[in-house]
Amino acid sequence: MRSYDYDLVTIGAGSGGVAASRRAAALGAKVAICEGDRVGGTCVIRGCVPKKLMMYAAQFADAFADAAGYGWTVVPPDFDLTRLVQAKNAETARLEGIYRTMIANAGVTLLEGRATLVDAHTVAVGDRRVSARHILIATGGAPSHPPIDGLELAIDSNQLLDLQEQPRRLLVLGAGYIAVEFAGIFAGFGTEVTMAYRADLPLRGFDTDIRTRLATAMADRGITLAHGFEPEKIERTPNGIRCHAKDGRTVEADAVLNALGRHPNTAGLGLEAAGVEVDARTGAIVVSADSRTSVAHIYAVGDVTGRAALTPVAIAEGRAFAESVFGDTPRVIDHRLIATAVFSQPPIGTIGLSEAAATAAGHAVTVFEADFRPMKHTLAGRAERAYMKLVVDADSDTVLGAHLIGADSGEIIQALAIAITLGATKADLDRTLAVHPTAAEELVLMRTPRGG
């Protein structure tokens, strides 16, 4: 029998790769993890964590504005993006140190350098080659760069996080998670923001009622929404950067954010040399339910597979892989029911089927909803509203989906997700006593179906 340097070599030290490697090592495997950039991956270094820190910073604009309604006198505030970025960088550096410590304490060897597959059992890291009985690919995703003339003048989300000078005008291209989140963040900082996108509403794939209310809330916050805008050309002008749409419209800004999607980070990994199949259209690594690639002993988890591009999903997939391969407890992750939050302003929380998706799947649905002005906004004089929606199967009474927009939606949906994952019915919610006064209590107080 052939001997190997390691039982497992993981390529990519992001959330999924680190979780899988630590679990495999705890189960007795000899593990090495390769990373060509900073340890911690997209979420910790250039994604979820720094973005949410910036979101917190932007929310102070609301707090300052609302304070007068509660009796406070606030000196006119002044925002310094450079100070925020320095503080954010210090925190991500601290977190990277924690990730390095976790890897070391787990007994996992960190191989620093860009890793490529040489063959089905060999990984090259710089000038070094190591062999492995099993290989896990967890290289995540990267910002996409569609073929738009002059797109190199735009910055992507990685670069935006390290911007030292606040732009007076920001054009955001796109309307997904990244686009709506950064549009809200920079609007909170006081930047004039335009968000331009091809569809009629932001956040394609979300429930229509949530999308509609988000668009209204963003416009009420002073963000210009240019829907039906398909960028064709970007050019530098004496006054900044101008973006041309195919229909002749133009938008000028001091900075342009390319938030036109992300793609699986598979380029240059040597997948062909190892015989790993890749989806020809998306570039994602093709995997089975247990994260196995077309090569029996090579696996992939996280964004690189093109499944659900969410950090907790990558972590769950990584741990399931390790337990299946090294713990003799085979299991797979069910991707059909995943709670998620969008840290827009106001934030969104959602789980399960939208109303349209439930109907398309053949369910007869009953919809319950609550639309209200949160108590916190009354004294402040803020007009912003909250909205909650439950999509219920009319025959079984099972809650098929929950969709929220308003303060703390991300926190609320996490708790609600437990009940829905367990198969909660509308009757289960009805018999749950409310916690008063809270916004979340509306979820257990809805009694009359829409149209009823």
Residue 353's φ and ψ, nearest 5 degrees, are: -80, 140
Residues contributing to the annotated binding site: 52, 174-181, 261, 303
What does the block give as tokens for 16?
A: 């999924």
For residue 420, give the nearest of 332, 366, 351 by alpha carbon. Answer: 351
Q: How far apart are CA 292 and CA 285, in angstroms?
A: 10
Which DSSP state fits 375? H
Q: Residues 6 or more apart from 26 whose CB is under 8 A from it?
A: 106
pLDDT bin (cut points 50, 70, 90) of residue 451 is confident
* Per-residue pLDDT at 394 exceeds 70: yes
The average confidence (pLDDT) of the chain is: 96
Task: Name the burial class of residue 278, with classes exposed (0-12), middle (13-18) and buried (19+) by CB atoms within 10 angstroms of its CB.
Answer: buried
Share of the chain above pLDDT 90, in %: 98
Strands 128-137 and 6-11: parallel
Domain that holds residue 391: 346-444
Across 120-259, the runs of DSSP E, i.e. the strands, are 122-125, 128-137, 141-143, 169-173, 192-197, 224-227, 231-237, 240-245, 250-253, 255-258
Task: Name the burial class of residue 108, with classes exposed (0-12), middle (13-18) and buried (19+) by CB atoms within 10 angstroms of its CB.
Answer: buried
Q: Are 16 and 301 in contact (CB under 8 A)?
A: yes
Q: 426 lies in a domain?
A: yes
* Per-residue pLDDT at 452 exceeds 90: no
Q: Are 80 and 191 in contact (CB under 8 A)?
A: no
Residue 256's φ and ψ, nearest 5 degrees, are: -125, 125
Q: What is the CATH number of the domain that holds 228?
A: 3.50.50.60
pLDDT at 277: 97
Q: Residues 6 or more apart from 296 whose CB is under 8 A from it?
A: none
Instruction: Indicate whether 124 and 91 sit together in one domain.
Output: yes
| Other residues' Cβ atoms within 10 Å of the Cβ of residue 232 | 15
For the stretch 147-153, contacts whose Cβ atoms lie closer than 8 Å and that sit 24 or more positions apart, written own/partner, are: 148/231, 148/232, 148/233, 148/234, 149/232, 149/233, 149/234, 150/233, 150/234, 150/235, 151/234, 151/258, 153/234, 153/235, 153/236, 153/241, 153/256
Instruction: Indicate whether 198 and 237 sit together in one domain.
Output: yes
What does the block give as tokens for 359?
A: 């109907």
Residues contributing to the annotated binding site for FAD: 52, 303
Instruction: Indicate whether 34 and 137 sit together in one domain.
Output: yes
Q: Are 323 and 27 in contact (CB under 8 A)?
A: yes
Q: 193 lies in a domain?
A: yes
Question: What does the pLDDT look like over 335-384, one tens digit per residue?
Answer: 999 999 999 999 999 999 999 999 999 999 999 999 999 999 999 999 99
Q: Residues 6 or more apart from 76 whose CB is under 8 A from it?
A: none
Residues contributing to the annotated binding site for NAD(+): 174-181, 261
Instruction: Indicate whether 139 and 267 sit together in one domain.
Output: yes
What does the block give as tokens for 338?
A: 């995943």
Q: Are 180 and 294 in contact (CB under 8 A)?
A: no
* Per-residue pLDDT at 141 exceeds 80: yes
Last residue of a domain, which of 236, 260, 284? 260
| Residue 145 annotated in active site | no
Question: What does the pLDDT look like over 166-195, one tens digit per residue?
Answer: 999 999 999 999 999 999 999 999 999 999
Q: 196 lies in a domain?
A: yes
Instruction: Indicate whether 158 and 137 sit together in one domain.
Output: no
Last residue of a domain, which of 326, 354, 371? 326
Q: 55 lies in a domain?
A: yes
Instruction: Indicate whether 20 and 133 sit together in one domain.
Output: yes
Q: Which amino acid belongs to residue 427?
A: A
> Domains in the chain: how many in total?
3
Instruction: Indicate whether 30 and 131 sit together in one domain.
Output: yes
Q: What is the CATH number of the domain that holds 399?
A: 3.30.390.30
pLDDT at 1: 64
Last residue of a domain, which of 260, 280, 314? 260
Alpha-helical (H) ranges within 205-310 are 208-220, 271-274
pLDDT at 449: 96
Q: Which of 263, 335, 363, 436 is catalytic?
A: 436
What does the block give as tokens for 77?
A: 């505030």
Q: Are 295 and 276 in contact (CB under 8 A)?
A: yes
Instruction: Indicate whether 224 and 317 sit together in one domain.
Output: no
pLDDT at 387: 98
* Per-residue pLDDT at 21 exceeds 80: yes
Q: 333 lies in a domain?
A: no
Instruction: Indicate whether 220 and 284 sit together in one domain.
Output: no
Instruction: Indicate whether 16 and 43 sit together in one domain.
Output: yes
Q: 338 lies in a domain?
A: no
Q: 341 lies in a domain?
A: no
Q: 452 lies in a domain?
A: no
pLDDT at 186: 98
pLDDT at 2: 81
For residue 306, give the nearest of 321, 324, 291 by alpha carbon. Answer: 291
Which DSSP state fits 70? G
Instruction: Indicate whether 255 and 267 sit together in one domain.
Output: no
Q: Are 45 and 92 in contact (CB under 8 A)?
A: yes
* Per-residue pLDDT at 405 exceeds 90: yes
Instruction: Indicate whether 279 and 358 sit together in one domain.
Output: no
* Per-residue pLDDT at 435 exceeds 90: yes
Give me the mean pLDDT over the 227-255 stretch.
Answer: 97
| Other residues' Cβ atoms within 10 Å of the Cβ of residue 340 | 18
